Amino acid sequence: MAELKLPRHVAMIMDGNGRWAKKRFLPRTAGHKAGVDAFVEMTDACNELGIEYLTVYAFSTENWNRSQEEVSALMELMVKGIAKYEPEMQKRNIKLKILGDLSRFEDKYRDPILDVQQRLSKNTGMVVSICLSYGGRQEIVYAVNKLLKEGRSEITADDIGENLYSAGMPDPDLIIRTSGEYRTSNFLLWQSAYSEYYFADVFWPDFNREELNKALEAYSKRERRYGR
């Protein structure tokens, strides 16, 4: 991949776990478990390629509308998956960031995730951001309200950017969505103003290194003009 023009920041909408499981006559939780494995593989792949930032959409504000059973299963998988992968992230000098409103999480889910984030906070390698209880509109409202509480009467675009969950990170160069859907689904609405999109037909658990290479090759051929 050395000859390609690689993005600095890749973001991924990990879509299709449930449909992947249904196609195999498995419970939805099996799809989510396979999705965690795909996330680990993509993190390793991006890290090996030298991509500096990886941001994944793991649980949206709208996902709270799913059944309590599925939400709880998702939370358990995320906590266990992050804990299991922590030693490898530490070994690879990967920094973990959690983006979103964690106030709705039960302590038994929120605290272990934040503990891992803290333990990896001093790492200086690739930054992996996991969006949990995240919504793009909600994030913009969060930034504006934060500025209003500071007594600001006039707000600039730079002000908002500096108060988003992702403050300090570059905007994503490439956003990949799996499962053949063509929607942004309230993901990084502010940050994606000039991002390139790539839509893959495979479900997230089947998104492997070969599929990632296809996305990176497509990105490498594009000319980014930023409105010029």
> So which residues are the catalytic ones?
15, 63
Q: Which helix (H) or strand (E) holds 166?
A: none
Compute CA distances 221 → 3, 8, 150, 225, whole Å: 11, 15, 44, 13
Q: Where in 84-146 does DSSP place strands (E)? A: 95-99, 127-134
Give the C-alpha distances (Å, rounded to integers) separating 120 from 37, 111, 178, 192.
20, 14, 28, 26
Cβ–Cβ < 8 Å for 53, 8 = yes
Give the CA dihedral 27, 32, 37, 41, nearest 10 degrees.
130
What DSSP string runs through 28-67?
A: HHHHHHHHHHHHHHHHHHHHHHT-SEEEEEEEEGGGGGS-
Task: Give Rg (Cα) of the chain.
Answer: 17
Residue 3 CA to residue 62 CA, distance in Å, equals 40
Q: How many other C-beta atoms lie within 10 A of the C-beta of residue 148?
A: 11
